[in-house]
Structure formats: structure tokens, C-alpha cells
Amino acid sequence: MRKIKSKYIAIAFALLVLFSLCMVLCFFKWLLFFPAIIFLSAYMLVDRKYLRCPHCSGFTNLDRLSYAKTHIYHCSHCGEIIEIEG
């Protein structure tokens, strides 16, 4: 059975943080708009490729995925348990 790798959750988190940072700094230096877009698309790519439910490929947000690391979490789409691999 396929599992979600926790390193991709960490990467997705990092990309989101970088994205928000660039968006905030964007007000001072508008050129930071471009890296922000790059971080956002990288995040969406990682999300689409690695962070979907292994059973139904339904979307689960990052909060719930980090919750699933330490708790038993059932997919909200198909009801199967989502397992996170360290």
C-alpha cells in the first residue's frame, strides 16, 4: 500500500512559508512577486504529485497531513486511513 512521505509534507510547508514571505516582501520590492509565483507553483506540484490520498487521490490539506503523522486519520473523501511514512 502506498504511503505519503513526511519529507514531502516538510517540503510543502517550507515552500508555503517562502511563498508567504515573498508575498509580504512584495510590498517593498515588487520583483519578489516572481519567486513567490515559483514557490507557489512548486508547492502545487509537490502537493499534486506526493500529497494526495494514496487510495482515491483526494486532496487533504497540510494541517490534516501533519495531524495524520501522529494520529490515525481517515481520508475525508474515501474514508480510508491515510498513513504517513517517516
Determine, following the binding rule CB under 5 A, whether residue 37 of this chain makes contact with Zn ion: no
CA pair distance 2, 65, nearest whole angstrom: 15
Binding span for Zn ion by CB under 5 A among 9-17, 18-26, 37-45, 47-55? 47-55
C-alpha cell at 42: 512548486
C-alpha cell at 17: 512559508
Determine, following the binding rule CB under 5 A, whether residue 53 of this chain makes contact with Zn ion: yes
DSSP state of 22: H
Binding span for Zn ion by CB under 5 A among 9-17, 22-30, 37-45, 53-61? 53-61
Determine, following the binding rule CB under 5 A, whether residue 64 of this chain makes contact with Zn ion: no
C-alpha cell at 11: 517540503
- Selected from 17, 31, 37, 78, the binder of Zn ion by CB under 5 A is 78
Determine, following the binding rule CB under 5 A, whether residue 56 of this chain makes contact with Zn ion: yes
Cα 49 to Cα 23, 42, 70, distances in angstroms: 24, 11, 22
